[in-house]
Amino acid sequence: MEPFREAVAKIEAWLREEFPSAHVESQGNFDREVWLFRARDKKAPAPAYELEVSYSAFEDSPFETIVTDLKQKKAAQHLREEPGRRLLYGREGLLGYSPFDPRTRARRL
């Protein structure tokens, strides 16, 4: 099930707040059942700040809860501290590094 556009728009808005000089884009990955969000700084586009939200997280939680969790778990700070490492927000609000990021192994934060 593809997440509702409203939920995607709210997470994109949160990323724009956290990274005001970045261009934010997102797309779904049906095979992996995640929605990938990228924030690329307009002056230095690489590496992008990347966050995946699992479809199951969208199904389990209202988008307000997801955004609140991302703020409370300091997801933006983790992205700033380790640019180029992709975060994954999954079921039950678990936040960790994505196992599909070729630069790192999965681990919980």
Q: Could you report the per-residue pLDDT of 50-105, keeping only the tens digit for each? A: 999 999 999 988 888 999 999 999 999 999 998 878 999 998 899 998 988 766 55
How would DSSP label each residue in 86-102?
PEEE-GGG-EEE-TT-T
What is the value of pTM for the model shown? 0.87
pLDDT band at residue 1 using 50, 70 and 90 as cut-offs: very low
Whether the pLDDT of residue 39 is over 80: the answer is yes
Euclidean distance between CA atoms 104 and 85, whole angstroms: 7
Whether the pLDDT of residue 17 is over 90: the answer is yes
Whether the pLDDT of residue 8 is over 80: the answer is yes
Which residues are registered as beta bridge partners of 52? 36, 88
Q: Label residue 11 exposed, middle or buried (CB < 10 Å: 0-12, 13-18, 19+).
A: buried
Which residues are registered as beta bridge partners of 36? 27, 52
